[in-house]
Amino acid sequence: MHNTSATPQVPTDLLTETELAIRLKTTVASVRWMRRTGRLSFIKIAGNRKVRFAWPQVLADLRATEVRASVHDDERARQLADLANHNDGDAAACAAADLSREFPGSPM
């Protein structure tokens, strides 16, 4: 019987710059820029000549700089309410429907 617990596990969440660029759908130059400017954490290996990125940490780093939609949501809700209250016919009906769907409980 083969003991698989003795086989070392290779971490699959450590990525090269190229692999990370592919996963993020960006360029290697962008990954390097994010690394140099401190936007992405990385691990130095092989005498500091190579770097690797831990995927869970990359996600955490990116989420730390995430632009929240709430600022835009407030403006969208105001626009829809304005359309619903000050327009005629289909435009008002559509705006009211969008407002109730996207922002349940919002006053018009």
Q: What are phi and psi for residue 86, nearest 5 degrees? A: -125, 15
- Predicted TM-score (pTM) of the model is 0.54
Contact criterion met (CB below 8 Å) for 42 and 68: no
pLDDT of residue 48: 72
- Closest by CA to 61, choosing from 31, 26, 16, 28, is 31
* Residue 1 in this model has a pLDDT that exceeds 70: no
- Closest by CA to 16, choosing from 43, 51, 45, 49, is 51
pLDDT of residue 78: 76
